[in-house]
Structure 1
Amino acid sequence: MTDTEVGDSLTPLLRGDRPTTWAYADVSAAREDPRGWADSLATATLDALVQAGAPVDDARVLAEELVAPPGVPAPVSRCVLVQGGEVVLSEVLPGPAKAADALGHGPVPDALPLLAHRPVDLTFLVVEVGRDGGGFRVYRFGHGEVQREQQVQGRTDTLHKIQGGGWAHKRMQSHTEEQWRQNVGELGDAIDSAVRRHRAGLVVVAGDIRARQLLELELSAETRGLLSVVPTDTRAPDAADDALVSQVEVALARVVAQRVHDALDLLRTHLGRGDGTAVSRVGEVVAALAAAQVDTLLLDPSAVDDRTLLALGDAPWVATAPEEALGAEVLAELPAASALARAALLTDARVVLASAGALPGDTGLGALLRWPVGPARPGTDAG
Structure 2
Amino acid sequence: MDLAFLHPLYEHPGPWASVYVDTSRHTEATPHERHLTATAMARELASQGADEETCLAVRQALDELQHSREPHGRALFARAGEVVLDPPLARSPDGDRAHWAPLPHTAPLLELVGEDPVCVVAYIDRKGAAFELRSALGRGDAGSVTGRTWPLHRTSTADWSERHFQLKVQNTWEHNAAEIADALTVCQEETRADLLVLVGEDRERRAVRERLPERLDALVAEAPHGSGSRLLDEDVERVRAEHVRQRAEQELERFLAAREPGADGRAGAVEGVPALVEAAREHRIDELLLHPEGPDAHREVWIGEDPDQIAVRRTELTVLGEQNSWSARADDALIRSAVATGAAALAVTPATEASGAEGPVGGLGALLRWA
* Equivalent in the alignment of 1:375: none
Deviation at 1:59? Answer: 2.9
Q: 1:266-306: per-residue Cα shift (whole Å, max 9, x none)? A: 22222223533222232111100111111122222222256
Whether 2:72 is the aligned partner of 1:80: answer: no
Q: Provide closer, same or farther for how the CA distance between residues 176 and 167 of structure 1 changes in structure 2, counting only shifts above 3 A.
A: same
Q: Provide closer, same or farther for how the CA distance between residues 312 and 15 of structure 1 changes in structure 2, counting only shifts above 3 A.
A: farther
Q: 1:148-197: per-residue Cα shift (whole Å, max 9, x none)? A: 61122334453333345544322222222322333332222121112233
Q: 1:310-361: per-residue Cα shift (whole Å, max 9, x none)? A: 2332041422122333234656322222222332232222212225763457
- Please say if residues 31 and 67 of structure 2, whose CA atoms lie closer than 8 Å, have aligned partners that are also in contact: no
The separation in 2 between residues aligned to 1:100 and 1:347, in whole angstroms, is 32
2:112 to 112, 117, 120: 117
Q: Which runs of 5+ in 1 are unaligned?
A: 373-383
* Equivalent in the alignment of 1:376: none
1:191 to 181, 184, 191: 184
* Equivalent in the alignment of 1:339: 333
Provide TM-score, normalisation by structure 1. 0.83
Q: Provide closer, same or farther for how the CA distance between residues 181 and 88 of structure 1 changes in structure 2, counting only shifts above 3 A.
A: farther
* Equivalent in the alignment of 1:316: 308
Deviation at 1:118? Answer: 3.1
Which residue identity does 1:128 align to in structure 2? Y
The separation in 1 between residues aligned to 2:67 and 2:28, in whole angstroms, is 16
Alignment of 1:123-202 (within 5 A): 123-139=118-134, 142-144=136-138, 146=140, 149-164=142-157, 166-202=159-195
The separation in 2 between residues aligned to 1:212 and 1:195, in whole angstroms, is 17
Percent identity over the alignment is 28
Q: 1:178-230: per-residue Cα shift (whole Å, max 9, x none)? A: 22333332222121112233433321221222221111122111223311111
- Please say if residues 80 and 87 of structure 1, whose CA atoms lie closer than 8 Å, have aligned partners that are also in contact: yes
2:232 to 240, 244, 247: 244
Q: 1:6-28: per-residue Cα shift (whole Å, max 9, x none)? A: x1211331354354333111112
Q: 1:62-83: per-residue Cα shift (whole Å, max 9, x none)? A: 334332444444xx11112234
Q: 1:28-52: per-residue Cα shift (whole Å, max 9, x none)? A: 2352522222222222223223333
- Please say if residues 119 and 194 of structure 2, whose CA atoms lie closer than 8 Å, have aligned partners that are also in contact: yes
The separation in 2 between residues aligned to 1:69 and 1:317, in whole angstroms, is 42
Which residue identity does 1:144 align to in structure 2? G
Q: Provide closer, same or farther for how the CA distance between residues 63 and 205 of structure 1 changes in structure 2, counting only shifts above 3 A.
A: farther
* Equivalent in the alignment of 2:276: 285
Of 221-230 and 335-344, the range deviating more from structure 2:
335-344
Q: Provide closer, same or farther for how the CA distance between residues 63 and 200 of structure 1 changes in structure 2, counting only shifts above 3 A.
A: same
Q: 1:234-290: per-residue Cα shift (whole Å, max 9, x none)? A: 1x4xx21xx232222222222222222222222222222353322223211110011
* Equivalent in the alignment of 1:20: 16
The separation in 2 between residues aligned to 1:218 and 1:50, in whole angstroms, is 60
Whether 2:266 is the aligned partner of 1:275: answer: yes
- Please say if residues 298 and 331 of structure 2, whose CA atoms lie closer than 8 Å, have aligned partners that are also in contact: no
* Equivalent in the alignment of 2:6: 10
1:101 to 93, 96, 101: 96
Deviation at 1:364? Answer: 2.6
Which residue identity does 2:303 align to in structure 1? A
Whether 2:206 is the aligned partner of 1:213: answer: yes
Q: Provide closer, same or farther for how the CA distance between residues 96 and 20 of structure 1 changes in structure 2, counting only shifts above 3 A.
A: closer
- Please say if residues 26 and 69 of structure 2, whose CA atoms lie closer than 8 Å, have aligned partners that are also in contact: no
- Please say if residues 121 and 196 of structure 2, whose CA atoms lie closer than 8 Å, have aligned partners that are also in contact: yes
* Equivalent in the alignment of 1:352: 346
> Secondary structure of the residue that 2:74 maps to in structure 1?
strand
* Equivalent in the alignment of 2:289: 298
The separation in 1 between residues aligned to 2:302 and 2:81, in whole angstroms, is 27
RMSD of aligned residue pairs (Cα, Å): 2.7
The separation in 2 between residues aligned to 1:61 and 1:162, in whole angstroms, is 69
> Secondary structure of the residue that 1:340 maps to in structure 2?
helix
* Equivalent in the alignment of 2:370: 371
Which residue identity does 1:346 align to in structure 2? A
The separation in 2 between residues aligned to 1:15 and 1:9, in whole angstroms, is 12
* Equivalent in the alignment of 1:379: none
Q: 1:76-101: per-residue Cα shift (whole Å, max 9, x none)? A: 1111223444433222223343x453
Of 64-73 and 192-201, the range deviating more from structure 2:
64-73
Q: Which runs of 5+ in 2 are unaligned?
A: none
Whether 2:49 is the aligned partner of 1:53: answer: yes
* Equivalent in the alignment of 1:259: 247
The separation in 1 between residues aligned to 2:109 and 2:248, in whole angstroms, is 17
> Secondary structure of the residue that 1:233 maps to in structure 2?
coil
The separation in 2 between residues aligned to 1:19 and 1:34, in whole angstroms, is 31
- Please say if residues 24 and 80 of structure 1, whose CA atoms lie closer than 8 Å, have aligned partners that are also in contact: yes
Provide TM-score, normalisation by structure 2. 0.85
Q: Provide closer, same or farther for how the CA distance between residues 110 and 332 of structure 1 changes in structure 2, counting only shifts above 3 A.
A: same
* Equivalent in the alignment of 1:377: none
